[in-house]
Amino acid sequence: MILVMSVFNPEVKPLLEVMLKIEEGELLGRSYTRGLIGKNEVVVASGFVGKVETAALAQKFIDEFSPRLIVMTSGAGAIDSSIEPGTVVIGSEFLEYDLYLPLRSGHISVPTTASVALDHIKQLMPDATYGRIITGDQILADTKKRDELFKQYHACCLDMDSAALARVAKMNRVPFLVIKVILDKCDENSENDFGINFERYGQKPAKILAELLRTHVLEIK
């Protein structure tokens, strides 16, 4: 079984449109849909914000469904100023920039582990950007702070969820993959850009994943 998680409900619509639905339910107050896409059994869940909700929901769904692969599909803000809205970013490494552990050599970095799914993504999306994603519990709309974070971490983009998912998946030894689309550039225009680009690009990661699931078996044994 594959667990797909996304922040906002509209982001997962492309997956639900191609799914042969078997079950609908609720965990921790969030709805989910289970069914088949191609030859893959999939559970799709959405409706959470920030690291705490992401971690809590990921653990609950792992306990309930024992997925063999977790995929996060959602939006992010670019901190590399050369990356434009609409760009698909595949996370290769994840780090919480607002968590510092001085007795454990600073920040904890978690690499992606879903190599089989990643290989399929690279074939389907050769023009996607691959790189580090950093996560924190705040919306960034400050060019100076954005540039400082880029200088410090050399990451592609910033979000509020993927590093939390990465840590939970790693602790449970579940392979995971993160597919993001850039919706803003973490600058003073972020709020306006996010609204416009969410309508334009917000479903892009789910569309990519839906095509993968329709044409490939991503179950990892």
Q: What is the CATH number of the domain that holds 162?
A: 3.40.50.1580
- Those residues whose C-beta lies under 8 Å from the C-beta of residue 91, and which sit 6 or more positions away, are 112, 130, 131, 132, 133, 162, 166, 177, 178, 179, 180
Q: Tell me if 193 is assigned to some domain.
A: yes
Arithmetic mean of pLDDT, 60-64: 98
Q: Tell me if 111 is assigned to some domain.
A: yes
Q: Tell me if 220 is assigned to some domain.
A: no
Q: Which helix (H) or strand (E) holds 206?
A: helix 204-215
Domain count, the chain: 1
Q: For residue 95, which amino acid is it? A: L
Q: Tell me if 203 is assigned to some domain.
A: yes
Q: Tell me if 221 is assigned to some domain.
A: no
> Could you list the active site residues?
11, 184
Q: Tell me if 99 is assigned to some domain.
A: yes
Using N-to-C axis directions, what is the helix angle for 115-124 and 204-215, rounded to 10°? Answer: 110
Backbone φ/ψ region at 106: left (φ over 0), alpha (ψ -120 to 50), beta: left
Confidence of residue 146 (pLDDT cuts 50, 70, 90): very high
Model's pTM, two decimal places? Answer: 0.91
Q: How many CB atoms lie within 10 A of CB 123?
A: 10
- Write down the H helix ranges in 88-203: 115-124, 143-153, 162-171, 190-201
pLDDT of residue 220 exceeding 70: no
Q: Tell me if 118 is assigned to some domain.
A: yes
pLDDT at 20: 98
Q: Tell me if 97 is assigned to some domain.
A: yes
Domain limits for position 59: 2-215
d(CA 12, CA 217) in angstroms, rounded, equals: 19
